[in-house]
Structure 1
Amino acid sequence: MSQKITPFLWFEDNAEEAVNFYTALFDDARIVSVTRYGEGGPFPAGVLQSATFQLAGQQFMALNAGPHDPFNDAVSFFITCEDQEEVDRYWDALLAGGGTPTQCGWLKDRFGVSWQVIPVALNRYLSDPDPEKAQRVMGAMLQMVKIDVAELTAAYNGER
């Protein structure tokens, strides 16, 4: 069965660059299909019109369609990371070329798409039945831009 709901990303004119960037970033990614504008379209013939691609088993679509509404934080893509090394890899790659860090593990990549780069430890610590531990972790996380697993662990253990 095909995927029932697919995120659809509207780019002004750099969808092909974005799709190539995203599929190079994730190990288990691929471009599924591409369509290109023909003569007489809103873009020169041969420019990418749309692409279907997969990242970590999730299918996405991208479209070059001209200016409309820019991306904003109302929708973001959440990357679950196993450890600090994985957080660092995705964080650094998504910021490369003009991305902007915000706070609490959020960033915008150079295309304006919002991402959350979050280690599994954060949810585990925030879900702890001891409210004091969870609150210490929340306080530490609220002070961070990129999530630091060692700092979260120190807060969880009351060492901070």
Structure 2
Amino acid sequence: MAHKNTICVWYDKDALAAATFYAQTFADSAVTAVHAAPSDYPDGREGDVLMVEFTVYGIPCVGLNGGPAFKHSEAFSFQIQTEDQAETDRLWNAIVNNGGQESECGWCKDRWGVSWQISPRVLIDAVTSSDKALARRAFNAMMPMKKIDIATIEAAIAQA
């Protein structure tokens, strides 16, 4: 690993499957290295896949097959800003339809329990706007959604 900061994501035993899915799903993403355990460890054997280096949209990550001791939570998520409804739909559906699950406000979990925010740029720009009324309208439009519907957000933004 040549980066000073790398996101480490703990998996029970499926780091390679997860990293491969991310590489196939997200642009500028790849599995860059697979490392075997040099000896037996509490939840694995010598030669098992221990660490997987990968990128998600160019951000360096490492997947650690650490066993079942720790579970994922929404306290950590990947936030992916999408440009349009087609990209939003494609990424959301890829995650949810691959054994994942929908959540609220643009959040979903992949089949390994990792949380993702599939957030259209128009939504992020609106809810962080210095125009408080516009931000409130966009935020309130988002609240009942699971997957974000850009047309509904844009309609809320356009209200006077």
Alignment TM-score > 0.5, same fold: yes
Report the TM-score, using the length of structure 2 for normalisation: 0.90
Gaps of 5+ in 2: none
1:93 counterpart SS class: helix
- What's 1:11 paired with? 11
After TM superposition, the structure 1 = structure 2 runs for residues 77-92 of structure 1, keeping only pairs within 5 Å, are: 77-92=78-93
Following TM superposition, by how much is the alpha carbon of 1:56 offset from its aligned partner in structure 2, in angstroms?
A: 1.2
The answer as to whether partners of 1:96 and 1:110 remain within 8 angstroms in 2 is no
* 1:63 CA drift (Å): 1.1
Distance 1:139 1:29, change over 3 A: same
Query: Contact conserved, 2:80 with 2:119, CA < 8 A, in 1?
Result: yes
1:101–1:108 CA contact under 8 A, matched in 2: yes
SS in 1 for 2:55: strand
Partner of 1:29: 29
How far did 1:44 drift?
Answer: 4.3
Equivalence map 1:1-160=2 (5 Å): 2-37=2-37, 40-41=40-41, 42-158=43-159
Q: Rate the CA distance shift 1:64–1:132 in 2: closer, same or farther, 3 A.
A: same
Deviation at 1:19, TM superposition (A): 1.1
How far the C-alpha of 1:39 sits from its partner, in A, is 6.1
Q: SS of the residue aligned with 1:3?
A: coil
Q: How far is 1:77 from its partner? A: 0.5
Assess if the C-alpha contact under 8 Å between 1:140 and 1:151 holds in 2. yes
**Partner SS state of residue 27, structure 1:** coil
Deviation at 1:101, TM superposition (A): 0.9
Take 2:85 and 2:148, find their aligned partners in 1: how far apart are those partners? Answer: 8
Cα distance between partner residues in 1 of 2:157 and 2:138: 5
Number of equivalenced pairs: 158
- So what's the TM-score if we normalise by structure 1? 0.90
**Equivalent position SS for 1:71:** coil
Q: Percent of counterpart pairs with the same letter? A: 35
AA partner of residue 34 (structure 1):
V
Supply the distance in 2 between the matched residues of 1:53 and 1:127 (Cα, whole angstroms): 30
Shift >6 Å, 4+ stretches: none
CA contact (8 A) 2:22 2:30 kept: no
Query: Residue deviations 1:8-45, cap 9 Å, x none?
Result: 01111111111111111112112221111356454245
- Mapped partners of 1:40, 1:128: distance in 2: 52
Aligned-partner residue type, residue 61 of structure 1:
V
Amino acid at match of 1:53: F
CA distance in 2, matches of 1:60, 1:80: 18
Mapped to 2, the partners of 1:67 and 1:130 lie a distance apart of 45
Offset, 1:96: 2.0
Where 1:91 maps in the other structure, the secondary structure is helix
* Secondary structure of residue in 2 paired with 1:34: strand
